């Protein structure tokens, strides 16, 4: 019951989705946090109590823990229970969880934040957000449809694609930005040529916001999607190599084209997004 789990619970209530919402937590103090935020009707440390008669279970753990968590929960699941998740990597998660629980279909709501914990949950976090749903050839069509309808009931848009296609896309649109933000912080504030923190103003703050994300979570994401992230880093490196060459040559036309194309592409994306 972190940021996403809490936001799902708040969205269920905000949209009037029927049902009893129970949060399974790891720490005693999390029970009060979940209840105080209003994300659940009930919170517990007991898997059996949490999963009794559950029709839908949403895994909100880091991607590296999904399979182990499913094994722990399996004895407490009813035969008809549907299982999904909110992880930002799908191929590895689906490949390890689906054999344990065939009524699992992967999900990824693209609505995260650098903030963590249920106390940062928001009822509107999923509103209008795209949620990728990643069935396989083994998926039950009725389960896929139920998962899609659930996310749609919370105000999200759904897109169905394969786990592998999902991971290839988000390596560039989600994972690479976090890698870049972290590398920028390390370059400017760490190492032998570390900068003066007082000179880091709003541009640095806004560009590096993502670096506040959980190191453990992002370690697991990198380990679960290494090839696609490495390909995205290589493409970014090629862009930087081109920029460095233009700087070495003092090529005014190439430099202006570099910045103008970036401005134009971002402007077009913002117009489509809005």
CATH number for the domain spanning 215: value is: 1.10.3660.10
Residue tagged 């700087």 (tokens): 247
Q: How many residues does the chain have?
A: 274
pLDDT at 120: 87
Q: What are the tens digits of pLDDT across the range 230-255?
A: 999 999 999 999 999 999 999 999 99
Q: Are residues 25 and 66 in the same domain?
A: yes
Report whether pLDDT(69) > 80: yes
Structure tokens at 67: 């399979």
Cβ–Cβ < 8 Å for 83, 77: yes
Complete edge-to-edge strand list for the sheet that includes strand 130-134: 106-109, 130-134, 157-160
Residue 156 and residue 180 in one domain: no
Nearest to 37 by CA among 45, 55, 25: 25
Six-digit token pair at 72?
A: 């722990």
Rounded Cα distance between 173 and 267, Å, is 16
Domain range for 196 is 166-273
Question: Within this chain, do residues 135 and 177 fall inside the same structural domain, yes or no?
Answer: no
The mean predicted confidence, pLDDT, of the chain is 93
Domain termination site, one of 106, 135, 161: 161
> Six-digit token pair at 237?
């490196």
Same domain, 227 and 251: yes
β-pairing verdict for 106-109 and 130-134 = antiparallel
124 and 190, same structural domain? no
Residues 194 and 262 in one domain: yes
| This prediction's pTM | 0.90
Of 132, 161, 190, the position where a domain reaches its end is 161
**Alpha carbons 71 and 219: distance in angstroms, whole number:** 22
Residues 191-228 as b or e (16 or more Cβ within 10 Å = b)? eeeeeeeeeeeeebeebbebbebbeebbebbbebbeeb
Q: What is the pLDDT of residues 9-38, one digit of tens each?
A: 999 999 999 899 999 998 898 899 989 888
My answer on whether 25 and 125 are in the same domain is yes
* Lowest pLDDT segment from 83-92, 130-139, 191-200, 253-262: 191-200
Task: Give the bridge partners for 84, in sequence order.
Answer: 58
| Residue range 141-163: mean pLDDT, rounded | 97
Percentage of the residues of the chain whose pLDDT score is greater than 70:
98
Q: Domain with 68 in it: what CATH number?
A: 3.40.50.720
C-beta atoms surrounding 174 within 10 Å: 19
Judging by beta carbons within 10 Å of its beta carbon (0-12, 13-18, 19+), is residue 37 exposed, middle or buried?
buried
| Residue of higher predicted confidence among 121 and 99 | 99
- Token digits for 204? 């640095």
Answer yes or no: do 239 and 209 share one domain: yes
Contacts of 168 (CB under 8 A, 6+ apart): 228
Regarding whether 178 and 141 lie in a shared domain, the answer is: no
Here the tokens at position 207 are 């560009």
Give pLDDT, residue 195: 65
201, 171: one domain: yes
Is 194 found in the same domain as 155? no
d(CA 5, CA 158): 18
CA angle at 261 for the pair 269 and 204, rounded to the nearest 5°:
75
* 154 lies in the same domain as 174: no
* 190 CB neighbour count, 10 Å cutoff: 10
> Could you tell me where the beta strands, DSSP code E, fall in the chain?
22-24, 42-44, 56-59, 82-85, 106-109, 130-134, 157-160
Q: Using one digit for the tens of pLDDT, what is the confidence trace for 221-235?
A: 999 999 999 999 999
Instruction: Give residue 1's pLDDT.
Output: 85
Say whether pLDDT at 270 is over 80: yes
Domain boundary among 138, 161, 184: 161
Cα–Cα distance measured from residue 175 to residue 84, given in angstroms and rounded to the nearest whole number: 21
- Read off the pLDDT of each residue in 80-85 and give the average, rounded to a whole number: 97
Tally of domains within the chain: 2
pLDDT for the residue 192: 60
């Amino acid at each position: 019951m972190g940021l996403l789990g809490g936001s799902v619970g708040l969205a269920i209530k905000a949209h009037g989705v029927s049902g009893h919402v129970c949060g399974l937590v790891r720490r005693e103090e999390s029970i009060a946090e979940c209840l105080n935020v209003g994300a659940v009707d009930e919170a517990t440390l007991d898997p059996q109590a949490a999963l009794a008669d559950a029709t839908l279970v949403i895994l909100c753990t880091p991607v590296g823990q999904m399979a182990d968590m499913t094994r722990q929960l399996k004895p407490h699941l009813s035969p008809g229970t549907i299982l999904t998740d909110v992880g930002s990597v799908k191929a590895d998660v689906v490949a390890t969880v689906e054999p344990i629980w065939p009524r699992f279909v992967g999900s990824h709501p693209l609505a995260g934040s650098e903030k963590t914990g249920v106390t940062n949950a928001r009822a509107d976090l999923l509103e209008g957000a795209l949620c990728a749903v990643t069935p396989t050839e083994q998926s039950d069509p009725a389960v896929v449809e139920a998962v899609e309808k659930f996310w749609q009931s919370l105000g999200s848009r759904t897109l169905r694609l394969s786990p592998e296609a999902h991971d290839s896309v988000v390596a560039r649109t989600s994972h690479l930005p976090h890698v870049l933000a972290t590398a920028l912080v390390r370059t400017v504030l760490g190492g032998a040529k570390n900068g003066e923190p007082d000179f880091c103003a709003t541009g640095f703050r806004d560009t590096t916001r993502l670096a506040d994300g959980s190191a453990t979570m992002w370690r697991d994401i990198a380990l679960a999607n290494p090839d696609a992230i490495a390909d995205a880093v290589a493409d970014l490196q090629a862009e930087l190599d081109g920029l460095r060459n233009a700087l070495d040559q003092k090529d005014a036309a190439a430099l202006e084209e570099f910045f103008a194309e970036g401005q134009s592409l971002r402007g077009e994306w913002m117009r489509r997004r809005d």
